[in-house]
């Protein structure tokens, strides 16, 4: 998984056109609030399957006043990958690898990207769905096939919910087929999550406690079993609820402060930030071991929310971990970082600092 050596944007968010050529280590973006720093990080995040770090639909990404579509292109060593949407089909994502059309899920074979944004600071006190999506990003970086199984599971579940909403007219044979698909792919989704949690837990336990590694983790919620039988027996209940009440979509990521022995949701905001960073750093180590190269990290405004001691500890931990993109409103927040690619970001413009 090589680093991004060139990133080009066309009609993406606030950028009519823009291009940067970062180095392999720290990539630092400076600019005022609203200048477009997060837009650059979002562009990198879209080089993997999914909706990127904002979770935005494609129709919201194209630049206002532009041609109607958008494009993100990147060079990874001698490989060129790109994604975007056409003005004629703005809701359909296009992917190309070395000029040839490719499936969206195939992007995970070329690049592994993880991110932290200010919106994730309260991940542990948020919804189970937010934590599942975070966990699934971790799984995807280790097991690219996770995207396929997740998509098939979600599609079968949506189709089943729609059928159940029809009441007694629902086709029982079709329901059975959909439930079998949910069971098949749901088992793969749950197993992938379990393997990732186990690998992370081993890494966290072996890591001495410092500013970013005092956590233990576990899977909570649905624990597996005969999902076909569970779904078949709960059709009436699920029809009333309007959703399936059993399955992989009912799982949660439970995080506990290791030294204090309390749930992450009960920790202070600073402690939650440190726990989250600890998970991401541990996961980066696991990815590097499993896939032979570290993932690209996108850390949006992360330095502004850390005290000077934790900032220094974070920079030290990130040194030599591959490409790390970071944004800040002030260059002084990155004091202590030596060699890096530095860029000034203003409205619709990116230039070397």
Q: Is residue 223 one of the residues assigned to a domain?
A: yes
Partners of 342 in the beta sheet? 28
**Are 236 and 168 found together in one domain?**
yes
Q: Is residue 119 one of the residues assigned to a domain?
A: no
Residue whose token pair is 């591959």 = 322
Q: What CATH number is attached to the domain comprising 332?
A: 3.40.50.300
**Are 81 and 216 found together in one domain?**
no
Q: How far apart are CA 320 and CA 67, in angstroms?
A: 40
* CA 233 distance to own-chain centroid: 34
Crossing angle between the packed helical segments 146-164 and 172-206, to the nearest 10 degrees = 140
**Are 252 and 273 found together in one domain?**
yes
Q: Is residue 254 one of the residues assigned to a domain?
A: yes
**Are 218 and 260 found together in one domain?**
yes
Crossing angle between the packed helical segments 128-142 and 146-164, to the nearest 10 degrees = 140
Domain closes at, from 244, 259, 294:
294
Residue whose token pair is 């920079």 = 315
Q: Is residue 117 one of the residues assigned to a domain?
A: no
Four-CA torsion 251, 252, 258, 260, nearest 10 degrees: -120
3-class DSSP state of 334: helix
Q: What CATH number is attached to the domain comprising 283?
A: 1.20.1050.90
Q: Is residue 207 one of the residues assigned to a domain?
A: yes
Q: Which 8-state DSSP code applies to residue 61?
A: T
CA distances from 337 to 231, 260, 313, 326 (A): 53, 31, 11, 11
Q: What angle do CA 13, 17, 18 make, to 5 degrees?
A: 95
- H or E stretch covering 219: strand 215-221
Whether this model's pTM surpasses 0.85: yes
Q: What is the pLDDT of residue 241?
A: 94
Q: How far apart are CA 265 and CA 312, in angstroms?
A: 25
Alpha carbons within 13 angstroms on the beta-carbon side of residue 249 total 18
**Are 145 and 285 found together in one domain?**
yes
Domain encompassing residue 106:
1-112+296-353
Give 10-residue mean pLDDT values along the chain (353 residues): 91 95 95 93 94 92 91 94 94 94 90 90 92 94 91 96 84 94 97 96 81 84 92 94 95 94 91 89 91 91 83 88 93 89 91 90
Structure tokens at 80: 């060129």
How many folded domains does the chain comprise? 2
Q: How far apart are CA 274 and CA 194, in angstroms?
A: 23
Listed residue (11, 14, 9) closest to 67, CA to CA:
11
């Amino acid at each position: 998984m090589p680093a991004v050596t060139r990133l080009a944007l066309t009609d993406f968010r606030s950028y009519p056109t823009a291009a940067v050529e970062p180095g392999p280590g720290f990539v630092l973006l400076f600019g005022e609030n609203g200048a477009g720093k997060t837009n650059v990080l979002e562009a990198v995040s879209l080089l993997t399957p999914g909706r990127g770090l904002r979770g935005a639909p494609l129709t919201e990404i194209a630049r206002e006043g532009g041609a109607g579509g958008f494009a993100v292109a990147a060079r990874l060593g001698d490989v060129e990958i790109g994604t975007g949407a056409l003005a004629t089909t703005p809701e359909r994502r296009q992917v190309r690898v070395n000029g040839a059309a490719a499936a969206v899920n195939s992007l995970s074979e070329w690049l592994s990207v993880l991110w932290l944004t200010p919106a994730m600071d309260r991940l542990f006190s948020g919804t189970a769905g937010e934590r599942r999506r975070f966990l699934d990003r971790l799984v995807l970086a280790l097991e690219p096939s996770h995207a396929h199984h997740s998509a098939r599971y979600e599609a079968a579940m949506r189709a089943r919910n729609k059928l159940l909403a029809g009441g007694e007219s629902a086709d029982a044979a079709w329901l059975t087929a959909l439930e079998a698909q949910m069971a098949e792919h749901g088992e793969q989704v749950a197993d992938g999550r379990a393997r990732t949690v186990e690998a992370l837990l081993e890494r966290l336990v072996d890591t001495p406690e410092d500013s970013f590694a005092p956590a233990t983790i576990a899977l909570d919620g649905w624990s597996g079993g005969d999902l076909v039988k569970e779904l078949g027996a709960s059709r009436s209940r699920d029809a009333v609820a309007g959703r399936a009440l059993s399955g992989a979509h009912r799982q949660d990521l439970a995080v506990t402060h290791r030294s204090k022995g309390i749930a992450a949701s009960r920790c202070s905001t600073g402690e939650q930030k440190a726990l989250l960073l600890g998970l991401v750093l541990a996961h980066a180590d696991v990815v590097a071991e499993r896939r032979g190269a570290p993932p690209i990290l996108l850390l949006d405004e992360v330095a502004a929310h850390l005290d000077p001691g934790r900032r220094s500890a974070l920079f030290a931990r990130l040194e030599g971990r591959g490409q790390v993109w970071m944004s800040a409103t002030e260059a002084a927040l990155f004091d202590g970082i030596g060699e890096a690619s530095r860029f000034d970001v203003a409205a619709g413009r990116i230039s070397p600092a």
